[in-house]
Amino acid sequence: MSVPALRLTDVKKSFGPTAVIMGVSLDVAPGSRHAIIGPNGAGKTTLFNLISGRFPASGGRIELHGRSIDGLPPHEINRRGLSRSFQVTSIFPRMTVFENIRCGLLWSRGYKYSFWHLVGGQRALNAAAAQLLADVNLEARRDVPAGLLTYAEQRALEIGITIAGGADTVLLDEPTAGMSRSEADHAVALIRRITAGKTLVMVEHDMSVVFDLADVVTVLVYGQVIASGPPAEIRANRAVQDAYLGAPAEVA
Amino acid sequence: MSEGVARTAARPLAAGGAAGFLRRQWPWLAALVFALVVPWFSFDWSTGRHSGFIVSMLSQIGISIIFALSYNMLMGQAGLLSFGHAVFLGLGGYVTAHVVNATKGGAFPLPLELTPIAGALGGLAFAVVLGYFATKQRATAFAMITLGIGELITSCALMFQTFFGGEGGVSTNRMTGRSLFGVGYAAPIQVYYLIVAWTALSVVAMLLLTRTPLGRMANASRDNFERAQFVGYDPRMVRFFQFALSGAFAGIAGALYTLTYEIVTYDTVAGPMSANALLMTYIGGVGVFAGPVVGAVLIVLLQSWVSLLSNSWLVYAGVLFIMMVTFAPMGLTGLVMMHQPIWRAGRLGRLIGPYLRLLGPALLVLIGFVLAVELCSFLTIGAAQGKSFTLSRITIDPRGARPWLVAGLLLVGGGLWLRVAMRGFGAAWNAVTEEVKTVGTRA
Amino acid sequence: MEVLLVSLLNGLVYGMLLFMLASGLTLIFSMMGVLNFAHASMYMLGAYFAFSVSRVIGFWAALVVAPILCGILGALIEMYALRRVHRNGHIAELLFTVGLAFIIEKATQMAWGLLPVPYRVPPVLDRALFHVYGSNFHAYRGFMLLISVLMFVAIWLLLTRTRIGLVIQAALTHPEMVGALGHNVPRVFTIVFAGGSVLAGLAGVIGGNYLVTEPSMAATMGPIVFVVVVFGGLGSLAGCFIASLIMGLVQTFAVVIDVSLADLLARLGIQVTSTTPLAEVLTMPLPRVGALLPYLMLILVLLIKPRGLMGTRDT
Amino acid sequence: MLSVRDLHAYYGKSHILQGVNLEVRAGEIVSLLGRNGVGRSTTCKAIMGLVEPIGEVLWKDKSLVGLRPDQIAHAGIGYVPEDRQIFPTLTVRQNLELGMKRAGRFGRWTFDDMFQLFPHLRERQHNAAGVLSGGEQQMLTMGRTLMGDPDLVIIDEPTEGLAPMLALQVGRFLDEIAHRGVSILLVEQKLTIALKISHRVYVMGHGRIVFEGTPAALAANEAVRRENLEV
């Protein structure tokens, strides 16, 4: 198997006395769609925070395309081609939807901290932003401040910002949380379309979304990986059912 | 400078040809024309001279606009609350003073018109050095470091002779005889037009800056510095560049200050000057680009007019602050912008009635309050300074009971009436906004 | 040698005075997340109230009455004004206190005039307490040290031993949870704000006659107290205590040690002449640079430890 | 005892609760199930007044809408938050003390009851609560709320992040509370505990109740479980 897009070796994390991640090892093949599932409080979001550099790991190693990214600040990691979305929507509320997307593009288009370009006049940049806006079909809300969007629209915008930078490894943290069935289906189609050819790692609760999108599923329970493999195998796995429902599956 | 209406400045400078440019930017052009023309209203045709007071006030407005806008590059654009922004105005001023003195001595021929560039470079240099420390932090810690820097530089200004000239400061003479257009700059009006030129230049530059990648990411880091980090930007660098540029523009304001008053002392770097920037920007409104311009014009007018009549400007500034913070945290231009959806839906006419009903009681309360404050001030400070409280030729004796009664009556009576009127206004406002929501905006 | 000892004591006295001011500010900050710009104004009011009250019913009564007046004023401000501004966000609250500081400064001038007020140390304390190596230690400084230590112990006991102290400690970090357990959190906010004002008032009473009671005393003391709070670490009472003592000692020792950078360089064999660059800075004797030191130290500390000595939070 | 009718709640612009109706009768254990982000925690916070409730919330026939959280607590409702919110600088015993509404007045629960239910806490009672492990913190936060002697306890996901063995212990603890006549509104994700001890169950879709009935009825209803729960 070629160099994995993302490799975690024995990663640990504890906040004070409580250990949250107890030695997780995980390989994500380039271009694969990897879903991480597990009950509430299993440490899924914490794992994302370690990978994306938001928190430093307490132990173990994290490598992106074979190069270590341990201890790097989030903006360094992002520049190497890894971007992430947040479980709690994290956008720029007082800027318009179009500007939110454009901010996601600025660094990758090489503008860096320029104060001599006028963003209004950059044709290629604005065309790319308009295209992305179409991808997440928010054209109708182009000049609306992002804070005024509905919940689902904000989640779609969040996905738009995450992939805007052209990162080849995309981490999505519960992209369909709080969405209705139709909205979730729509989001899944959107994710499949815009992460084509990229490596996707996703934390998700909705099993239908997971089995619909992912080609590898890893089950994280109480800070440890208890199973990893193709979706069908995971669905049938006894240990996963127990861990998930807290006790033998047959209901009282 | 008239108050540029904020609405159009907020819309991005989309391409649209000269007509479009004119149609959208008319408030800025109107302001520029007004600035050019206004000194001639007070021109004394017999002596052929302008009224000194008016020209100096207008010059102060120009300088304050640049200073307040540069302050808003931090507060409104990047969400950074600084308590030491005057440092860069002052340091720009000191640098300019030394440069002008050098040109007089023939060291290097720099036309007076370009000295603000020296001020800008001075402000930039110090902002880079001091910004390195300050922008390591954000929010409260940043505010406190800037407070610390402000006090540090103020103490230095009082202490060191060579650069700061100690208590006496550094004086200079703007008539260096070197000018691009052969202007002697003896008369204040000539300096005023130099200020108008530089103010226009700075306003345009700062406006364009908000539309550069750095300006956009400054807004992004203000809204959500964590998300900014995850799209590849180091929020600290964004803060640092924004801080440095804002220091440069404050330096320009400092340079113009030096050219106008021909002396720079420690109070150009001290706390009150920083508080002034905060007052102008916040009262004007931080959320809109032109907010600080409105704030600067209002505060300079108010300050020069009030300090003519009374010495309790501080109380009025304090009360103005508290009123704005409690009732209109988004500032004057923010209030104007709140009326935009209503104006678009053509419902603004409905509000004129309620506003007028508010005017009456508000005036009463204002007069009562001013009377009370002045009575207090003349009771103690005035007496000490031997001034008597004369109001258009009627002398009011602060010891007598009658004036206090009148003030009390105005305050209480006006206050109750205002409360009732406010409730009425609130109902009207809610009704109109409800209506606007249902009918949807017209434009 | 005796200069060292006397300076040490003076440093302690000034440090404890700073702590009384800074502790109130830290408590209010950790509770409300806002640095109260009107805190130094409360200190000034404490001094002025003490001046007026002591002329009527004596210094000892004023020692009790003045801080209580400040506390009542603080409670009224919090309940009827600051609480309404709370929903407009932290910056609005901060600017509210800036406006308040303006008003109090001018009101003080109106009420007590522009010139310093003759607020003197009470005669019974106006003598040397003990004699050490040729210079005497003033009784009033001993009294100040006593009051500030008593105050420090009182706060510590209140916060750790009483029920209201526990509620305050808990509300500092989890106000919502404290409310859900049945404690009236808005009332706790008022108590802490009023308590902070009492501390500032008390500092004013005992500091006013030691230093000078004049309308600009708030503006001079304010920045230093902010520096102490940030230097010690935002929201940490222990850090604030250490920082106050350090600042007090540095300020007093700076005045005593008459040396300049040039002298140090000379010892290293580098001669500073009038032509060397920055000559003026190098030859500037320490006593005259005293006013700079707190701010220089703040910037240096924040370089090494961005959250201050014992800080746990940065906003 | 507690009846909630047509409850709405907003976070800024997003409309989280879209008309929730539920009831908890005296001595009853009711579970509120559903996926992340459907508004279960918001329902708890709205009842407790931590989020502004729009609609009708009656407790013993008195309306709670508009009351402060401490007034609602004094009316007899205890709240155990999802993120536990223990007071780290105070000792375990002091945390428990703050749970009591009046100093020194015990209701159904005394310190000994707590330490009898949670032996771990007895040894650690004088340690600062900040050094407790996840499970111990969960026990402490539940114990602290009970010390206020509520008639109804709203518990938000007590088993989150707990090892399976500890989660079972929480189940036993809930039984013990019920025996003392305290009714429970339990928000939970793990079906087994909820189904085992509840008298009635609600399942929440998007800001709305989509199912109400006995645990057995839910177990039989495949559609609701697939649509709104994990299985």
Please report, for residues A117, A132, B12, C155, D14, the alpha-carbon distance to residue A104 in angstroms, rounded to integers and kept in the order given.
16, 10, 19, 50, 24
pLDDT over threshold 60, residue B297: yes
- The reply to whether residue B155 touches residue C226, judged by beta carbons under 8 angstroms, is no
- Alpha helices per DSSP H over B230-347: 235-261, 271-284, 291-309, 313-327, 331-338, 340-344
- For B137, the closest of C106, C229, C314 (CB atoms) is C314
Same domain for B229 and B131?
yes
pLDDT in tens, B141-180: 888 889 889 999 998 888 888 888 888 888 888 877 778 8
Domains of chain A: 6-245 (3.40.50.300)
- For A246, the closest of D12, D14, D192 (CB atoms) is D192
Among B residues 5-24, those touching chain A with beta carbons less than 8 Å apart: 12-15
CA distance B245 to chain A (A): 9
Looking at B247, B271, B301, which one is the last position of a domain?
Answer: B301
Give residue ranges of D with CB < 8 Å to any A CB.
Answer: 12-14, 35-38, 130-134, 137, 157, 159-164, 167-168, 189-193, 195-196, 205-206, 215, 219, 227, 230-231
The answer as to whether B5 is a domain residue is no
Question: B356 burial class (0-12, 13-18, 19+ CB within 10 angstroms)?
Answer: exposed
The answer as to whether B8 is a domain residue is no
Residues sharing a CB contact under 8 Å with residue C156, sequence separation 6 or more, in sequence order: none
Contacts of B225 in chain A (CB under 8 A): none
- Alpha helices per DSSP H over C33-134: 39-77, 83-85, 90-112
A104 touches chain B (CB under 8 A): yes
- The reply to whether residue D168 touches residue A247, judged by beta carbons under 8 angstroms, is yes
A155 touches chain B (CB under 8 A): no
pLDDT in tens, C153-197: 998 898 888 988 999 888 888 888 999 998 999 999 999 999 999
Residue A180: what pLDDT? 67
Residue D35: what pLDDT? 72
Average pLDDT, integer, range D117-143: 84
**How long a stretch of residues is chain B?**
443
Contacts of C179 in chain D (CB under 8 A): 50, 68-70, 73
Residue B257: what pLDDT? 94
Rounded to 5 degrees, φ, ψ at B356 are -65, -40
pLDDT over threshold 70, residue B383: no
Confidence category of residue D229, pLDDT binned at 50, 70, 90? low
D68 touches chain C (CB under 8 A): yes
- How far out from the chain centre does Cα B427 lie? 33
Residue B386: what pLDDT? 65
Q: For C269, left (φ over 0), alpha (ψ -120 to 50), or beta?
A: left
Looking at B285, B301, B317, which one is the last position of a domain?
Answer: B301
Say how many domains are in chain D: 1
Calculated CA dihedral for residues C297, C301, C306, C311, nearest 10 degrees: -90
Least confident of B8-22, B73-87, B395-409: B8-22
B147 touches chain C (CB under 8 A): yes
Q: Where are the beta strands (DSSP E) in chain A?
A: 6-15, 18-28, 33-37, 59-64, 67-68, 82-84, 169-173, 199-203, 216-221, 224-229
Q: Which residues on adjacent β-strands are paired with residue A96? A: A145
Could you tell me the residue range of the domain that residue D56 belongs to?
A: 2-228
CA distance D191 to chain A (A): 6
- Partners of chain A (3+ Cβ pairs below 8 A): B, D
- Quote the CA–CA distance of B198 and B205 in Å, as a whole number: 10
CA distance C26 to chain B (A): 13
Contacts of A245 in chain D (CB under 8 A): 190-192, 230-231
pLDDT by residue, tens only, chain A of 252 residues: 578 999 999 999 988 777 888 889 999 999 999 999 887 777 888 899 999 999 898 999 999 999 999 989 999 999 999 999 998 889 999 999 999 999 999 999 888 899 898 988 889 999 999 999 998 889 999 999 998 888 788 888 999 999 898 899 999 998 887 676 777 888 888 888 888 889 999 998 777 788 888 899 998 888 888 888 888 888 788 777 776 654 443 333
Residue with tokens 């004088």: D126
The answer as to whether B46 is a domain residue is yes
The answer as to whether B215 is a domain residue is yes
- Quote the CA–CA distance of C58 and C205 in Å, as a whole number: 12
Residue B213: what pLDDT? 93
The answer as to whether B220 is a domain residue is yes
- The reply to whether residue C298 touches residue B326, judged by beta carbons under 8 angstroms, is no
First to last CA, chain C: 43
- The reply to whether residue C109 touches residue B160, judged by beta carbons under 8 angstroms, is no
- The reply to whether residue D157 touches residue A174, judged by beta carbons under 8 angstroms, is no
Residue A252: what pLDDT? 33
Confidence category of residue B17, pLDDT binned at 50, 70, 90? low
3-state DSSP call for residue A224? strand
Same domain for B38 and B184?
yes
B156 touches chain C (CB under 8 A): yes
Same domain for B292 and B381?
no
Q: Where are the beta strands (DSSP E) in chain C?
A: 128-132, 135-138
- Quote the CA–CA distance of B94 and B157 in Å, as a whole number: 10
pLDDT over threshold 50, residue B13: no
* Of A51, A115, A122, A128, nearest in space to A82 by CA: A51
Average pLDDT, integer, range D31-58: 87
- For B376, the closest of C33, C110, C294 (CB atoms) is C110
Confidence category of residue C48, pLDDT binned at 50, 70, 90? very high
pLDDT over threshold 90, residue B119: yes
Looking at B249, B270, B301, which one is the last position of a domain?
Answer: B301
Residue with tokens 């369909």: A176
- Quote the CA–CA distance of C60 and A75 in Å, as a whole number: 61
Average pLDDT, integer, range B245-268: 93
Average pLDDT, integer, range D76-104: 88
The answer as to whether B311 is a domain residue is no
CA distance A108 to chain B (A): 8
Residue B14: what pLDDT? 46
Residue C208: what pLDDT? 86
Average pLDDT, integer, range B19-38: 81
Average pLDDT, integer, range B54-83: 92
pLDDT in tens, B178-236: 788 877 788 888 889 999 999 999 999 999 999 999 999 999 999 999 899 999 999 99
Residue A17: what pLDDT? 73
3-state DSSP call for residue D103? coil
- Partners of chain C (3+ Cβ pairs below 8 A): B, D
Residue A28: what pLDDT? 92
Per the prediction, chain B carries an average pLDDT of: 84
B136 touches chain C (CB under 8 A): yes
B384 touches chain C (CB under 8 A): yes
Say how many domains are in chain B: 2
B329 touches chain C (CB under 8 A): yes
D145 touches chain C (CB under 8 A): yes
Q: What angle do CA D85, D87, D89 make, to 5 degrees?
A: 145
For residue C295, the chain B residue with the least C-alpha distance is B148
pLDDT over threshold 60, residue B4: no
- For D73, the closest of C163, C173, C180 (CB atoms) is C180
Residue B184: what pLDDT? 78
Touch between chain A and chain B: 3 or more Cβ pairs under 8 Å: yes
Rounded to 5 degrees, φ, ψ at C215 are -60, -25
Residue D88: what pLDDT? 87
pLDDT over threshold 80, residue D215: yes
* Of B325, B330, B282, B137, nearest in space to C38 by CA: B325
Identify the top-confidence range among B119-128, C30-39, D7-16, D126-135.
Answer: B119-128
Q: Residue C197: what residue type?
A: S
pLDDT over threshold 90, residue B253: yes
- Report how many Cβ contacts below 8 Å link chain B to chain C: 147
- For D36, the closest of A181, A205, A252 (CB atoms) is A205
Average pLDDT, integer, range B408-413: 87
Interface mutation vs chain C, best among B151, B286, B379, B387, most C CBs within 10 Å: B151
Q: Residue D91: what residue type?
A: T
Q: Which residues on adjacent β-strands are paired with residue D186? A: D31, D155
Task: Take residue C209 and report the two structure tokens written for it.
Answer: 């006659």
Identify the CATH number of the domain in which residue B163 sits: 1.10.3470
Same domain for B234 and B105?
yes
Same domain for B271 and B355?
no
Confidence category of residue B280, pLDDT binned at 50, 70, 90? very high
pLDDT in tens, C89-141: 788 888 899 999 989 988 888 888 888 888 888 887 777 777 766 667 788 88
Residue with tokens 């803060």: B239
Confidence category of residue C43, pLDDT binned at 50, 70, 90? very high
Residue B392: what pLDDT? 62
Could you tell me the residue range of the domain that residue B422 belongs to?
A: 340-439
Residues sharing a CB contact under 8 Å with residue D148, sequence separation 6 or more, in sequence order: C181, C182, D73, D78, D99, D100, D101, D107
pLDDT in tens, D62-81: 999 989 999 999 999 999 99
Q: What is the pTM of this model?
A: 0.86
CA distance C310 to chain B (A): 14
Touch between chain B and chain D: 3 or more Cβ pairs under 8 Å: no
Same domain for B372 and B422?
yes
* Of B52, B1, B35, B6, nearest in space to B290 by CA: B6
Residue C261: what pLDDT? 78
Confidence category of residue B440, pLDDT binned at 50, 70, 90? low
CA distance C130 to chain B (A): 36
3-state DSSP call for residue D69? helix
Per the prediction, chain C carries an average pLDDT of: 85
- In angstroms and rounded to an integer, the radius of gyration of the C-alpha atoms of chain C is 21
Task: Take residue B213 and report the two structure tokens written for it.
Answer: 């990648």
Residue B16: what pLDDT? 52
Task: Take residue B390 and report the two structure tokens written for it.
Answer: 């004369």
Confidence category of residue C76, pLDDT binned at 50, 70, 90? very high
Residues sharing a CB contact under 8 Å with residue C284, sequence separation 6 or more, in sequence order: B159, B160, C260, C261
Identify the CATH number of the domain in which residue D139 sits: 3.40.50.300
Contacts of D231 in chain A (CB under 8 A): 245, 249
Residue B207: what pLDDT? 93
* Of C296, C198, C202, nearest in space to C246 by CA: C296
Contacts of B139 in chain C (CB under 8 A): 314-315
- Quote the CA–CA distance of A226 and B424 in Å, as a whole number: 65
Average pLDDT, integer, range C271-291: 76
